[in-house]
């Protein structure tokens, strides 16, 4: 059982659907204020639905939406402004970000001969540069020694490395290295835990869009999960009970890595 997150300010990137939406909902249920984020115009109605559900389950929390591509070069400043407006009534000197969940990613299935430099850039910018710039911009507002949390949603693909996922698996390995490096750089000394989770296959619309041969191969190695299977682990990592877990990649794939 995780403790209440009442009064904590949380950001969840890519939170209009799937795992990200479930994480945002569960954080709000636990009492956290939440800044949602989405990129695609087609996801606008979905993120509005998430915000509406949050307000219905916990009317006391603050919830807002940032429409932005995490691959934008100025994404750090965009999150800084939106979080300041939502959590600190526009006063940056009063801004505190207690929970930062990097969930958004550009997921593509492309074999070597199909890859283009545009696709490579899009994936690297969204999956690596984006989390880096967001954390860099918000770091001055992540309080030291106050159970603050930075959590990356990686993927079992970073270790399974399935065909057609070269750039995706490389980028997920990169953010796992962020968790370990930043834990050593400032996390341990400043009392901020920094971890990653690596989900296996999860039943979302993104999974539904994956190639059939890929899905068949993956499900031969590990079981299918639900968004809540991942969100429950993230909720634990966001709580004070996880204070002794940092610099880790937590398996959230039903034991598939051992099969």
Structure tokens belonging to residue 164: 């057609």
**Enclosing domain of residue 112:** 9-245
- pTM for the complete prediction? 0.92
Largest Cα separation within the chain, whole Å, is 52
| Inside any domain, residue 255 | no
Q: How many domains does the chain have?
A: 1
Structure tokens belonging to residue 103: 């969930």
| Inside any domain, residue 158 | yes
Give the tens place of pLDDT for each residue, 175-184: 999 999 999 9
Give the tens place of pLDDT for each residue, 24-69: 999 999 999 999 999 999 899 999 999 999 999 999 999 999 999 9
| Inside any domain, residue 256 | no
Strand-pairing partners, residue 250, are 197
Euclidean distance between CA atoms 133 and 252, whole angstroms: 26
Confidence of residue 143 (pLDDT cuts 50, 70, 90): very high
| Inside any domain, residue 257 | no
- Which residues participate in catalysis according to the annotation? 168
* Torsion sign across C-alpha atoms 66, 205, 135, 164: negative
Contacts of 75 (CB under 8 A, 6+ apart): 68, 69, 130, 133, 134
Orientation angle between helical segments 166-182 and 130-138, nearest 10 degrees: 20
Q: Domain holding 40: CATH number?
A: 3.40.50.720
| Inside any domain, residue 121 | yes
| Inside any domain, residue 3 | no
């Amino acid at each position: 059982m995780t403790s209440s997150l009442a009064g904590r300010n949380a950001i969840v990137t890519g939170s209009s659907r799937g795992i990200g939406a479930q994480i945002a909902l569960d954080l709000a249920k636990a009492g956290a204020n939440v800044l949602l984020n989405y990129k695609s115009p087609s996801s606008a109605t979905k993120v509005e639905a998430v915000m509406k559900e949050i307000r219905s389950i916990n009317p006391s929390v603050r919830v807002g939406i940032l429409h932005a591509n995490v691959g934008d070069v100025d994404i750090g400043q965009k999150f800084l402004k939106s979080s300041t407006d939502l959590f600190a009534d526009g006063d940056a000197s009063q801004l505190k970000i207690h929970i930062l969940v990097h969930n958004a990613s550009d997921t593509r299935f492309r074999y070597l001969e199909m890859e283009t430099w545009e696709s490579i850039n899009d994936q690297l910018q969204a999956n690596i540069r984006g989390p880096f710039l967001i954390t860099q911009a918000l770091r001055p507002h992540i309080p030291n020694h106050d159970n603050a949390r930075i959590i990356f949603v990686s993927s079992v693909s970073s270790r399974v490395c399935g065909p057609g996922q070269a750039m995706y698996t490389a980028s997920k390995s990169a953010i796992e290295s962020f968790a370990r490096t930043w834990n050593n750089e400032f996390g341990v000394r400043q009392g901020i835990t920094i971890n990653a989770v690596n989900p296996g296959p999860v039943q979302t619309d993104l999974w539904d869009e994956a190639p059939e041969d890929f899905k068949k191969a993956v499900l031969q190695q590990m079981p299918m999960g639900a968004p809540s299977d991942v969100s429950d682990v993230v909720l634990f990592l966001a709580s004070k009970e996880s204070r002794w877990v940092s610099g880790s990649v937590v398996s959230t794939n039903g034991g598939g890595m051992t099969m």
